[in-house]
Amino acid sequence: MYIVYHLSLQVEPNATIAEIKSMFHKAREAVWRVFMTDSRIVQSAGCIDPAHQCSAEGKSLKDDEILQQLPVGTTATFYFRDLGAQISWVTVFLSEYVGPLLIYLMFYFRVPFIYAPKYDFTTSKYWVVHLACICHSFHYIKRLLETLFVHRFSHGTMPLRNIWQNCAYYWGFAAWMAYYINHPLYTPPFYGEQQVKTALIIFLFCQIGNFSIHVALRNLRPPGSKTRKIPYPTRNPFTWIFLVVSCPNYTYEVGAWLAFTVMTQCLPVALFTAVGFIQMTVWARGKHRSYLKEFREYPTIRSPILPFLL
C-alpha cells in the first residue's frame, strides 16, 4: 500500500536537494500527527521516520545539487520514495568484516562440533595453515581499521533490509574457506615452500597497495564533504597504477585474493576470488563510466580494473 502526500513548499532558488528533503520531512511530520487521530491510518501508513531516506523518481538527484541549476521553472514537482529503515555504512562494513574474522578463527582453533571430536582444539602440523590464518586475519583487521579511520562515505546509509545479503556473502565464504584450509586432512600446496613464499610476497604487496589507494582516495575528499575529484598518482609508488586504472583498490584486492588462492591451493578460495572479481569488475566499470561522464578531462587511457584489458 502506498501513502501519497501532496505537499506544497516554498523553496529558495539556491536551496539544495538535501535542504528540500529536510523541509519535506518536517512537513510530512505535521501530516503524520494528523494521521495519528485515526488508528486505522496509523496501521496502514506504517512508521514514517525523518531519518529515512527519500529519492526522487525519474532522474535521481544528488543531495548537493542546487534547485536553480536544475532544468525546472518557477514551479517544480518532486517525487519522493521512502527507502525504509536505514543503517550506516560504517555499521554495514563492521558487520561484514567482524564475521569472517571470528568465523575463520573458530575453524582454525578447531572448536568442538566442526570436525571429529578427536581433533577438537588441536593444531595443524603444516605451517602454511598457520600462515593462512595470519593473512586472513590481517586482511579483515585491516578492513575494520580502514572502516573506522580511513574511509569517507559519500552515502551515509544503506537500507537495513540489505544487510543480511552482504553478511551472508562474506560470512558464508569465510566458513567455507576456513573449513577446508583448517581441515585435519588438508595437504600443503603442490610446490611447497616456494609456492607459499611467492604467494605471501604478492599478498603483502597487494595489501599495502590497497591501503595506499584507500588513503589516496580519502585525501581527495575533505571531512564532512561529498566532493568528487579525479584521483591521480601521488609520491607513493603504489598509487602510480592510477595512470592506467580507474579503480586500483579493486585491482589490488583481486591480486591479494589471487595470491591467497595460490598460497592455500584451495578451491573455495579460488571460487571466492572469482566471484569477488566479477562483482568488483561491475563496480569498477560503473565508477569508470561515472568518472568519464562527470569529468571531461578524465584520462581515457585508463581501464576500469585491469590495465589495458578490462
Torsion angle (degrees, nearest 10) of CA 94, 97, 99, 101: -130
- When the pLDDT of each residue in the chain is averaged and rounded to a whole number, the result is 83
Q: What is the mean pLDDT of residues 6-21?
A: 67
pLDDT in tens, 75-105: 666 666 666 677 887 888 899 999 999 999 9
Q: What is the mean pLDDT of residues 110-121?
A: 94
Long-range contacts from 10-17, C-beta under 8 angstroms, 24+ separation: 11/67, 12/67, 13/67, 13/68, 14/66, 14/67, 14/68, 15/66, 15/67, 16/63, 16/64, 16/65, 16/66, 16/67, 17/56, 17/61, 17/62, 17/63, 17/64, 17/65, 17/67
pLDDT in tens, 130-182: 999 999 999 999 999 999 999 877 666 777 777 888 899 999 999 999 999 99
Which tops the pLDDT comparison, 68 or 274?
274
Residue the block writes with cell 571531461: 296
Q: Is the pLDDT of residue 59 over 50?
A: yes
User: Partners of 80 in the beta sheet?
Assistant: 56
Q: What is the mean pLDDT of residues 6-16?
A: 66
pLDDT of residue 91: 85
Q: Is the pLDDT of residue 14 over 90?
A: no
pLDDT above 90: percentage of residues in the chain:
60
- Which of 15, 35, 13, 36 is closest to 24 using CA atoms? 15
Q: What is the mean pLDDT of residues 119-131?
A: 95
pLDDT of residue 247: 97
Q: Is the pLDDT of residue 33 over 60?
A: no
Assign 1 a pLDDT band (cuts: 50, 70, 90). Answer: very low
Neighbour tally for 141: CB within 10 Å:
13
Model pTM?
0.79
Q: Which stretch of 66-75, 126-135, 142-151, 248-257 has the lowest confidence by average pLDDT?
A: 66-75
Q: Is the pLDDT of residue 22 over 90?
A: no
Q: Is the pLDDT of residue 250 over 80?
A: yes
- Which of 178, 97, 96, 110 is closest to 138 using CA atoms? 97
Q: Is the pLDDT of residue 65 over 50?
A: yes
